[in-house]
Amino acid sequence: MNNRQKLDRIDIRILAELQKNGNMTNANLAGLVGLSASPCLQRVKRLEAAGIISGYGAHLNLAKLTSTVTVFTEIMLHDHRREDFIRFEANLRDLDEVTECHLVSGGYDYLLKFLVKDIGHYQEVIEKLVDRNVGIEKYFSYIVIRTPFVKLTVPIESLLEDDS
C-alpha cells in the first residue's frame, strides 16, 4: 500500500522554496511560486497537515560559537536479531552527540555521525556507549578533517520529477 501523497509542480516548488528559507512570509512564497497568498497558505497548511513539512528551524553556524569535531563511526553488532537492533537504537536516542544514525548494508551495521567538542569528548561518549553493553562488537572512527560543504536542502524537484 502506497500512502505517499501526490504533489503537483506548485506543491513541489513550495517545498523547494521553504527548504531554502522556511522563515519567509507567505506573501513572498506566493510570489515565488506564482500563486496569490490565500491559495498558497492553504497549500502550505495541507503539506504541514500531511506531515510532508515536518517542522521549521534555524540553521546554526557553530563555527561562530565554538570549535567542534565531527566523527563518523562504523558500528558492528555482536548479534543480528531484531531485538538487538531495537536495543541498540533505543540506547542511542538519548545521546545528544549522535546527530545521525543509519542502519546500512555491507561490512558493518550502523553508520553514526557524532558532533563533539574535541577528540577527548568523542572518546568519553564512545566509551560510555560501549560500557552500556548494547551489543557493540567493534567500531571504527573517522575524524572529519574538513567539510567542504553540507547541503541543508534535498533535491526535491529532481527526486519527484517523474512522480508529478
pLDDT at 1 (0 to 100): 41
Per-residue pLDDT for the chain (164 aa), expressed as one digit of tens each?
456 778 999 999 999 999 999 999 999 999 999 999 999 999 999 999 999 999 999 989 999 999 999 999 999 999 999 999 999 999 999 999 999 999 999 999 999 999 999 999 999 999 999 999 999 999 999 999 999 999 989 999 999 876 54
Q: Which fold has domain 9-58?
A: Arc Repressor Mutant, subunit A (1.10.10)
pLDDT at 127 (0 to 100): 96
Q: Choose among 70, 73, 68: nearest CA to 130.
A: 73
The span from the CA of 10 to the CA of 18, in Å, is: 12
pLDDT at 162 (0 to 100): 66
Instruction: Classify 62-143 by CATH class.
Output: alpha beta
The span from the CA of 125 to the CA of 69, in Å, is: 13
Radius of gyration of the chain from its Cα atoms, rounded to whole angstroms: 20
User: CA angle 137-143-146, nearest 5°?
Assistant: 155
Q: Where are the domains of the chain?
A: 9-58, 62-143
3-state SS assignment for residue 75 = strand
37-49 and 26-33 helices cross at what angle (nearest 10)?
Answer: 100
At 118, list the grid cell: 574535541
The span from the CA of 148 to the CA of 124, in Å, is: 27
Total-model pTM: 0.85
pLDDT at 21 (0 to 100): 94
CA torsion sign, 100 to 78 to 87 to 85? positive
